[in-house]
Each structure stands twice: as structure tokens, then as C-alpha cells.
Structure 1
Amino acid sequence: MTEEFDTTKPIYIQIIEKINKKIVRNEWKAGDKLPSVREMAVQTGVNPNTIQRTYSELERMGIVETRRGQGTFVTENMEVIEQLREQLKRDIVADFVRNMTELGFTLDDMIVSLKNYNGNEEGESNDSI
């Protein structure tokens, strides 16, 4: 099963983002072994060289570590994982604020919207809970 990728961003960056989200969501825990380069290439439908680049970049970032002859593992450094979590949160908030500002909303409008948002598509208020 191959994945769909956004043509405006390099594939290896998109795979890094997906792996980072799995780590932050605790789907892949500290110390867990990642799929081999070949396995991940088959899962994502991309060239193994792309996965190798992905893993190399994640290792450079300190998010994973490669153990010769054993594979690639999620770092056990919880400080690195917490920093990743905070960075993803900041990025999402920055995107939200930028998008809302482009639409003409003020920070106060955004705060009211967030307080009233309860996760449904219709945007009904939390008062019904």
C-alpha cells in the first residue's frame, strides 16, 4: 500500500513529519525499532534511497539512532522527544494563527473560536455538553 504525497514538498520531509507524529502520539515509543529501510520503502511506495535519506536526517536531528547491524531505533532521550512534541505544537499553532490572520480574524476572535470549538465540523458550541 503506497501513500499519497504532496508534490509541493520533498517526499523525505513528508515521511519525517509522519514519523515524528507517530513518535509524538506514542505509536512508536522511545527505544522502538523502526521498520528497515526496505520495509519502509515498500510500505510507503518510495525508493529505498529516499528512506535512507529520511532516516539519516532523523538521526542528524537526534530523533532516531542507528545501531550497526541492528537497525534504526527511536531515541530513548525523553528530552529530545519532548522538544519534538513542543516544536510540532508550536508549528501547528503558528500555521493556525497565520491562516486565521490571513482571513482577517483577530487574536481575540481566535481565542473565542477555540474556546467554543468542540471538535465537530458544524462548529457548535461546547454549551451542549
Structure 2
Amino acid sequence: MSRTQALTIQIATGDSRPIARQIVDAVRMKVATGELDAGHQLPSVRGLAQQLTINPNTVAKAYAELVAEGWLEARQGLGLYVAPQRQRLSQGERERRLTDAIARFVNEVAALDYRNAEVLARLRQELQALKPRKAG
């Protein structure tokens, strides 16, 4: 049985996303990149709330969303664990989210007045940086 370790995520008070969304996004990224493997136990709601010095209801909301989406699984009396990898979203939903993310990215970057080649090179570099952490 795995032991619970601190979940190393950062909450940015200046971020436009709500704190619960920041937690959801951070856990998703850690699972997607292999930093959190299937079966890894997450801190309790109270434990993570104390670690981040935030309201436990905020953590509970984030955890509930991650469970509903299939990223985490609740084990009765044991806590929350990273769920085994599976296709969490339908192909249509994945496509919709990719389209939305690209549109937001393009809107942000267009105002910065970089050449397309430079933006693509930086994007490629950031995506490549994810590969070493990702299994398979």
C-alpha cells in the first residue's frame, strides 16, 4: 500500500483561474506527465488544504471534479488515489477542448507580435520538455 506524500503544487493568487481550477489543472498535468502514477495516494482534503493554506471546501470541490472525470478514484475508508490510465474523455470532447485551448493560446500570443516560426519553436520546445517525464 502506498503512503501519502505531499502533493507539490503551487497556487498563484494572481492567477485568473479559481483556486479549485488550479488544483484540478495541476493534478491533471502531474498525472498526464507521469509525475503521479496510477495507485499514488493523494493527501486528504484537510491535509492538502493545510499544505496550501486554503479552505478545505476548495480542495473537496477540486477532488470531486477529478473523481467525476476519472482522474482519481475514491477507495472507501482509504482515501483518494490516481486512477488507472484510461481514455477519460470522448474523442469529441478531446477535440473540443483542444480547439478551445488553441483559440485561447492564439488570442494571447497574437497580441505579443512574435513571428509564427518563433512561436512554433517555443511551443515545440515546451511540448518536448514534457516527454522525459511521460512514460511511454
What is the TM-score normalised by the length of structure 1? 0.67
Q: Which 10-residue stretch deviates more, 40-49 or 6-15?
A: 6-15
The residue type equivalent to 1:99 in the other structure is: E
Alpha-carbon distance in 2 for matches of 1:7, 1:104 = 23
Residue matched to 1:113: 118
C-alpha distance in 1, partners of 2:55/2:87?
32
Highest relative contact order (Cα 8 Å, sep 6+), 1 or 2?
2
54, 57, 68: which one aligns with 1:46: 54
Query: Per-residue CA shift, 1:54-104, capped at 9, x if unaligned?
Result: 1111111121111110111111033229x8xx78x9365443322233346
Identical columns (%): 31
In structure 2, what is the equivalent of residue 126 of structure 1?
Answer: none
Counterpart among 65, 81, 88 of residue 73 in structure 2 = 65
Offset at 1:31?
2.0
Structure 2 length as normaliser, TM-score?
0.64
Superposed CA RMSD in Å reads 3.1
Aligned residues: 111
Q: Which runs of 5+ in 2 are unaligned?
A: 1-9, 126-136
Deviations 1:10-35 (A, max 9, x none): 21111111111111121111221111
